[in-house]
Each structure stands twice: as structure tokens, then as C-alpha cells.
Amino acid sequence: MAAVVGTLITHWPAWWAIVRLSDALGYAPAVAGVEAAVVLVESAAYRLVVPLPWGRATFASLMANAASTGVGLLLYGLGLA
């Protein structure tokens, strides 16, 4: 539930921000910056919904986003996304 809430809040703003920032910063820095912001926002969802202490909530958000971003970058690199 926490992952769903966090994703619903951040998914579209993250995509929009990466597209907008890529021209100015480059793709990799845009993804890194946006994903860092996403981790912070989604950690609040983990903190409130589960509830977890802030450190564990941030770690859970970081792991979920690292896996998601990694798979997305892999698919992009393979020309499948």
C-alpha cells in the first residue's frame, strides 16, 4: 500500500521533471536528481502508511526506487522502453 501511494504521488511528476531537466542537465544527472527527490517523497508514504521509522522508510524507498530505476534503464538500454 505504501509503495502504491508513493508511486501515485511521484510517478507523473518524476517523468515530467526528467524530460524537462534532461535538456539543461543531461539525462543521467536529471534522473539522479529526480530519483533522489522521489526517494524523499516516497519515504514519507512508507513512514505514514506502514509506519516505519524515518531511516527504515528512506531505506525501503531507496531500494524500491533503485530496483525500479535499474529495470527501467536496462529496458531503455536494450531498446525495449
C-alpha cell at 65: 526506487
DSSP state of 79: T
Task: State the pLDDT at residue 69.
Answer: 86
51: left (phi over 0), alpha (psi -120 to 50) or beta: beta
Please give the mean pLDDT across all residues of the chain.
91
- The number of distinct structural domains making up the chain is 1
Tens digits of residue pLDDT in 59-71: 999 999 999 888 9
Instruction: Supply the pLDDT for residue 36.
Output: 95
Return the number of other C-beta atoms located less than 10 Å from residue 75's C-beta.
11
At 50 the three-state DSSP class reads coil
Residue range(s) defining the domain that contains residue 59? 2-77
Look up residue 35 and give its three cell numbers. Answer: 530519483
